[in-house]
Structure 1
Amino acid sequence: MNKHGVEKVYNQYSAVYDKIFGLVFENGRNEALKMISLNGNEKVLEVGVGTGISLIKYPRTVDIVGIDLSKEMLEKAKERVNRYSLTNVQLKIENAEEMAFQQNQFDKVIIMYVLSVTPNPEVLLEKAFSVCKEGGEVIIVNHFSQKKTLRKFADYDFLQRVERKLGFRVYFPLDKYIQYINRMGYASVEVKSVNYGWSRIIKIKKEKASRWQHAHAA
């Protein structure tokens, strides 16, 4: 998977994304927004905002910046913003792995169904934690593999071809990314099953003076 391949696939998805993935992933979106406990006046970054299907779920007092790599997906999001007069929303074409935002800029960073799509998930996670304020939260919603059965029995090259066509990784082990987050030095990691067990929400509190911050201070 690479940037141009992902962009191409999701440009193609743009016209039908809501119909295919809207209701299927609705439970995960709703539960994620419940878990972040928005009180109003926060600044939120939604990574991979897509067609903006979740934007009307936020309080109008919350400032939202939504970014996506796909121009066609963002055009759908802009239509939704205009339709519902969402004056608290800004939309930008941006590669999540190369976000140009300042450090410690957002109170909440939401990554819905994007982590298994991006070419370099660890890079995206580092960027997300960088732009999140101390004491803030990073919320990940994604499908995760629980077992290695698929990788064990499926031909690796075939699996990669399938993933490029679909636009996301089929094999995506949960334990690998929980371990990665723990190594970064963030405590208070909460995991919840959603979408009838097909997906997980990972809620991470960004602590002060984390090991990750010390490692990247130089």
Structure 2
Amino acid sequence: MAHIDRVEGGVAVKAHPRAALDADGVRDAYRRWANVYDAVFGGVSAYGRRRAVAAVNRLDGPRVLEVGVGTGLALPHYRRGLTVTGIDLCHEMLEKARERVAADQLVQVDGLHEMDAEAMEFEDGRFDVAVAMFTASVVPDAKKLFAEMNRVVRPGGHLLFVNHFAAESGPRWWIEKAMAPLSRVLGWHPDFSLTDLLDPDQAPALSRESCPPFGLFTLVQVRKLG
């Protein structure tokens, strides 16, 4: 059933409820996407991905975790000297990533693991940097994703996210809300907002950078404190 989501111009606006995602739903969706992911999404997401990796390459500390590594599109762009570990929930996507690592002889890639981003098997503070590209709106609970990334990064380390975040108003907001019930089929939340990922009062962003095309994606950097 639709519910009143907000008021615009004195008019109550009804939006469809967001369809729940779970690990099995995410895994099934990306199993379907595995063979065509690079062709369908590789181009539109390339700018955001390269900006995120460029930001990682400028940071101190060699130990990097890429959460939601997918088919490994970002892996060739990490600089030599880093030790990059990738995780993903989808076995089929990881197989594509492993093929890429072997074909391109990516010596900076230390390992690729099938793992739930909301319950990682790494010890606290293992990494200097954790980056999630187009992953936050995919996982069932983005705040658990943030908490886990924060846990496995050392104090003073960095967390980076590049993602589509929902518009706050206008035509795009209407489209994203209308698509929300399709979350399970799509494998991601079209109406995902930054506050679904983090609490700005507890984890203020160091920077927010709009990325092409058309500012559709945003690169957010957060510093782990304590």
With structure 1 as the length reference, what TM-score do the two structures score? 0.86
Partner of 1:191: 208
CA 1:162–1:149 in 2, change beyond 3 Å: closer, same or farther?
farther
Alpha-carbon spacing, 1:140–1:198, altered in 2? closer, same or farther (3 Å): same
Q: Which secondary structure state, in structure 1, belongs to the residue aligned with residue 130 of structure 2?
A: strand
TM-score, length of structure 2 as denominator length: 0.83
| 1:1-218 correspondence runs (5 A) | 1-38=21-58, 42-89=62-109, 90-148=111-169, 159-174=179-194, 176-177=195-196, 180-184=198-202, 186-187=203-204, 189-196=206-213, 197-208=215-226
Structure 2 unaligned segments of length 5 or more: list them: 1-20
Q: Which has the higher helix share?
A: 1
Distance 1:109 1:183 in 2: 20
Q: What residue is the counterpart of 1:215 in the other structure? A: none
**1:161 CA drift (Å):** 3.6
Q: Aligned-pair RMSD on alpha carbons?
A: 2.2
Identity of paired residues, percent? 33
Shift, 1:39, TM fit? 6.1
Q: Distance in 1 between matches of 2:55 and 2:96?
A: 26
Deviation at 1:189, TM superposition (A): 2.2
1:185-217 Cα offsets, whole Å, 9 max, x none, are: x34521010022101011011122xxxxxxxxx
Give 4+ residue runs of structure 1 displaced > 4 Å after superposition.
148-156
Paired AA for residue 202 in structure 1? V
Q: Is the 8 A contact 2:78 2:108 kept in 1?
A: no
Higher strand share: 2
Deviates more, 1:36-45 or 1:53-62: 36-45
Output the CA distance in 1 between the equivalents of 2:92 and 2:73. Answer: 14
The unaligned stretches of length 5 or more in structure 1 are 209-218
- Once the two structures are TM-superposed, the CA of residue 124 in structure 1 deviates from its matched residue by 0.4
Aligned length: 204
1:141/1:201 contact within 8 Å kept: yes
